[in-house]
Amino acid sequence: MGFTFMAEYKEQGNLVFGLDIGTRSIVGTVGYREGDVFTVLGQEIKEHETRAMLDGQIHDINQVGNTILQVKKALEKKLEIKLNNVCIAAAGRVLETVEVNTTWELDKEKVITPEDVAHLTSMGIEKAYSQFQAQNTSDLHFYCVGNSIVRYYLNGYQIGNLDNHKARSIGADMIATFLPDDVVDGLYRAVEQAGLRVVNMTLEPIAAISVAIPEMYRMLNIGLVDVGAGTSDICITKDGCIVAYGMIPCAGDFLTETIARACLVDFNTAEQIKRGIEDQETVEYKDIMGLPQSVTREAVLEMLDADLDEMTGRVADKFKELNGGKPVSAVFVVGGGGRIEGYTKKLSAHLGIVAERVAVRGEEVMQKIRFKDEDVRKDSLMITPIGICLNYYEQSNNFIYVTFNDEHIKIYDSGNLAVVDAAMHANFPNEGLFPQRGKEINYTINGRKTFKRGHLGEAAKITVNGEEADMHSPIRANDVIRVEESTVGEAAKVKISDLPEFKSMIVIKANDSRILLPKVAYVNGEIKTGYYEIQENDDIVMQDYYTVRQVLEFMDVVPEEGTQITVNNEPADEDTKVYENFTIRWGSKSPKVTKRKTTGKKAAGKVKAEDAEETAEEKPEEKEIADSFDALPEDDGTYVPSGKEREPEKKEEPQEEEIVKPKAVPYAINVRVNGKNIHMQGKSSYVFVDVFDYIDFDLQSVKGSKLITDLNGHKAEYMEEISNGDEIVIKWEK
């Protein structure tokens, strides 16, 4: 990947633009890598005009954004290119790390690919985040800004590299690092103000180690400290990898503030004095009274001695803490804050190692760095800025950054990322992605516990870059994703009349007349009409019989006194039960009943048969029964509720008698789900989402990159109707 200058305006192309946004200054570096050599085409340094940053955290976003813009414009002018994308590094006073072990049990033995390793790393990051959140007692929301693999495992045994090995399981020990969201958000906002887009972010010590400690040295137990203005960022290598990160909020500014107090000057003047003693024996300055003053190097070092001792002592303690209570074998020092005379000597003394094993790293570690402009500075200040650029090549294919509901998140890029992955990393509630059912109703019907599910709400409203999408829509670097949570549907409502058991009838014969008796509903021991709305935990009994008394009341008949009543030709009394297809008789012929008045009002009281004999004998085919159910007789002698209209008179030959039946009752179907037979029952129609009531499948826990919902070979819709014999597949795609 080479680069040829042209006398015209060019886009950034394959060039890498790195920004080291430090507490004291901002360093911009533009270059490209060819083979294992990185060529620096241009660098620009701009100091903050005010103390816009403290301890590695942005305090004035507008001021920092303006300084970044100045660096960007200077590089664009110098190189005649347009810079759009940038790599950055994070530091901060509240750096937290989590060590985790993660294992991925594969379905079968397979050759491990880079995508598999990426997925394993992503699993580790998710586990680390969950573990960190469980321990996070602050109100701060933290963001994963870096991670490193300590060691890999193949089938339970440690291995250096998983790629291309066959395995049934792979695992890793890893470290994930977290910073508060406001630190990361401040960096992003400042960069965006300068018209730039972040394409890679890492930790400052990770960036520095890319240059300062070559791979061949990482087998050794070596420490690196990047001493900036506000923070001293630490990392440790061992057994070929980075094994620990750390940070203390104490660095160059700690010393500058001491000079300011001792010399009675402002902060910027104190900074000039500190830098001046690097190559001058005496530094002249004016104090806050405007009086000319001078101070010797020896005097400055003497006034800084106690603070320098405290600072290096804290760094040494952090090294020992991160290294299992032992000092590291050697320390490389980078950054401007560590160049002050006496720093390395005091640090070695606190660590208890020989002074020669603590050294400032600069040009000597830049053997594979080429500079277009040979006059640029090649000291320890340039290690981290160049490392930020180099880290892009290590991480850019593994991570992407997206904006999810205004939150910047970093996601491990496995090559098939979707909205659901971003939602998971943003800690978006899983139930907010799927339509949510309203509250269900539980009740008992004839001793059998059952329930009615609530209605489904609306699905989540999802857009990617303003375009309508769904949770399986693919996402790419820098996408802007917005998700409005799904809604909860209406609570379940069911009336007695909706129950299949209520709609059925009891058919009996009474003195040769067919009678259709609606079943009676008892709710918690009380009779209820079909309009009654069932409540939680109601106990419903659908009576499947009538007593003789109830039959007579239904027909509004009062037999003559002393009339013998039989049920199935056996003597009966008023409490005898009459079931389906039973026969009830009284007297020697059909009962004599009165015709209902045509006023539309129910006749009051009971009517004796003899009082209506003439009417019944004149037109027996038109006899009506006034009852609590408003029953009416059909022409064939069958009694039905009065809501049923009479059939028009037919002149054709009489057909075989038919019993009036209720509406069709629910039916059962059998389907195959993931190769298993599933029996579904209790409904008159079924849709795809009903399947989840019969299978053990947790929609709340995302276990893959994509949810597969397949019906007979095509992607199913949640409300799509299903039928007997359908083939269904529901699974998470890895």
Residue 71 has pLDDT above 60, yes or no: yes
Indicate the pLDDT class of residue 6, thresholds 50, 70 and 90.
very low
Indicate the pLDDT class of residue 413, thresholds 50, 70 and 90.
low
Helix (H) or strand (E) holding 615: helix 613-618
| More reliable by pLDDT, 613 or 566 | 566
**Does the CA dihedral 410-387-397-467 come out positive or negative?**
positive
**Does the CA dihedral 110-111-112-115 come out positive or negative?**
negative
Residue 35 has pLDDT above 50, yes or no: yes
User: Which pLDDT belongs to residue 414?
Assistant: 57
Give CA–CA dist 471/419, Å, rounded: 5
Residue 629 has pLDDT above 60, yes or no: no
User: Which pLDDT belongs to residue 55?
Assistant: 64
Residue 642 has pLDDT above 60, yes or no: no
Indicate the domain borders of the chain: 96-397, 403-484, 496-641, 667-733
State mean pLDDT over 299-315: 94
Indicate the pLDDT class of residue 317, thresholds 50, 70 and 90.
very high
Indicate the pLDDT class of residue 11, thresholds 50, 70 and 90.
low
State mean pLDDT over 455-469: 90
Global confidence as pTM: 0.56
User: Which pLDDT belongs to residue 446?
Assistant: 86
Helix (H) or strand (E) holding 389: helix 383-395
User: Which pLDDT belongs to residue 702?
Assistant: 65
Domains 403-484 and 667-733 share a fold: yes
State mean pLDDT over 52-69: 83
Residue 535 has pLDDT above 80, yes or no: yes
Give CA–CA dist 633/641, Å, rounded: 9
Question: Across all residues in the chain, what is the average pLDDT?
Answer: 81
Residue 515 has pLDDT above 60, yes or no: yes
Q: Where are the alpha helices (DSSP H) in 323-382?
A: 343-351
- What is the assigned CATH class of domain 403-484? alpha beta
Q: Which two tokens stand for residue 312?
A: 């290096």
Indicate the pLDDT class of residue 219, thresholds 50, 70 and 90.
confident
User: Which pLDDT belongs to residue 614?
Assistant: 37
Least confident of 179-188, 314-323, 347-356, 370-379: 370-379
User: Which pLDDT belongs to residue 28?
Assistant: 93
Query: How would you classify the pairing of strands 520-523 and 538-543?
Result: antiparallel
Q: What is the CA radius of gyration of the chain?
A: 42
221-240 burial code (b ≥16 CB/10 A, e <16) = bbbbbbbbbbbbbbbbbbee
State mean pLDDT over 16-41: 90
State mean pLDDT over 286-306: 93
Indicate the pLDDT class of residue 270, thresholds 50, 70 and 90.
very high
Q: Please name the CATH architecture into which domain 667-733 falls.
A: Roll (3.10)
567 phi and psi angles, rounded to 5 deg = -125, 120
Least confident of 95-104, 423-432, 488-497, 591-600: 591-600
CATH number listed for the domain at residues 96-397: 3.30.420.40
User: Which pLDDT belongs to residue 701?
Assistant: 64
User: Which pLDDT belongs to residue 644?
Assistant: 39
User: Which pLDDT belongs to residue 51?
Assistant: 77
Q: What is the DSSP letter of 588?
A: S
State mean pLDDT over 94-123: 86
Indicate the pLDDT class of residue 93, thresholds 50, 70 and 90.
low
